[in-house]
Amino acid sequence: MSIHTGIPGASKSDDLTTYMDSLALVERLHRLLLDVIKDEFERLNVLDINAVQALLLFNIGEQEVTAGELKTRGYYQGSNVSYNLKKLVETGYMHHQRCDMDRRSVRVRLTPQGREVRGVVAALFARHAAGLIERGIVTGPRLDELNVLLRRMERYWTEQIRYIY
């Protein structure tokens, strides 16, 4: 039995299969991204930082933030971000300082060593963006379309968390 979904010839089962394929791809792409970052640092013989920590440094950039802010932005889960920030401070990639207003809160920012890691990740991403376009794998406009779709999915999931329960 085929249930009409608004797409000629499509069933709810087809929609679910396509959605599940999309979820699996998003998950695999994230893991592959971490593997690509890990390989880059292994090639450079930088072994005291993992891919998640390097990506965290990249996402923080020149900002000064708290762990709570990173969690609120949706980048990381609370326990993950706290652990990784602690390790980054211990290894000299980040400075930390207690907030004057709330002594329980700690603000972090990149050290010069952390900015070097951020630069490595930024250069890697720039090479990949150029390679995708040069090889004709994905063009700029198609990436824009992909980003629009992914933002819509992000907004939908965010609404599910905030408003359904």
Contact (Cβ atoms closer than 8 angstroms) between residue 120 and residue 42? no
The fold of the 17-160 domain, in CATH, is Arc Repressor Mutant, subunit A (1.10.10)
Residue 34 DSSP symbol: H
Instruction: Determine the Cα–Cα distance for residues 25 and 9; give it in Å rounded to an integer.
Output: 24
**Per-residue pLDDT tens for 13-63?**
799 999 999 999 999 999 999 999 999 999 999 999 999 999 999 999 999
* Residue 8 reports pLDDT greater than 70: no
Give the residue from 97, 78, 88, 90 showing the smallest Cα distance to 115: 88
What dihedral angle (degrees, nearest 10) is formed by the CA atoms of 71, 76, 80, 86? -70
Mean pLDDT (whole number) for 91-96 = 94
pTM exceeds 0.75 for this model: yes
Burial 118-144 (b: 16+ CB within 10 A, else e): bebbeebeeeeeeeeeeeeeeeeeeee
Instruction: Determine the Cα–Cα distance for residues 74 and 88; give it in Å rounded to an integer.
Output: 20
Q: What is the mean pLDDT of the chain?
A: 86
Mean pLDDT (whole number) for 96-101 = 76
Domain ranges in the chain? 17-160
**Per-residue pLDDT tens for 114-165?**
999 999 999 999 999 999 999 999 888 888 999 999 999 989 988 888 776 5
CB atoms within 10 A of CB 155: 10
| pLDDT given for residue 3 in this prediction | 41
Task: Give 98's pLDDT tier (boundaries 50, 70, 90).
Answer: confident
Give the residue from 120, 60, 69 showing the smallest Cα distance to 89: 60
What 3 state SS string does 140-164 have?
HHHHHHHHHHHHHHHHHHHHHHHHH
Instruction: Determine the Cα–Cα distance for residues 133 and 112; give it in Å rounded to an integer.
Output: 32
Q: Which residues contact 105 (CB under 8 A, 6 or more apart)?
A: 66, 68, 98, 99
| pLDDT given for residue 165 in this prediction | 53
* Residue 73 reports pLDDT greater than 80: no
| pLDDT given for residue 1 in this prediction | 38
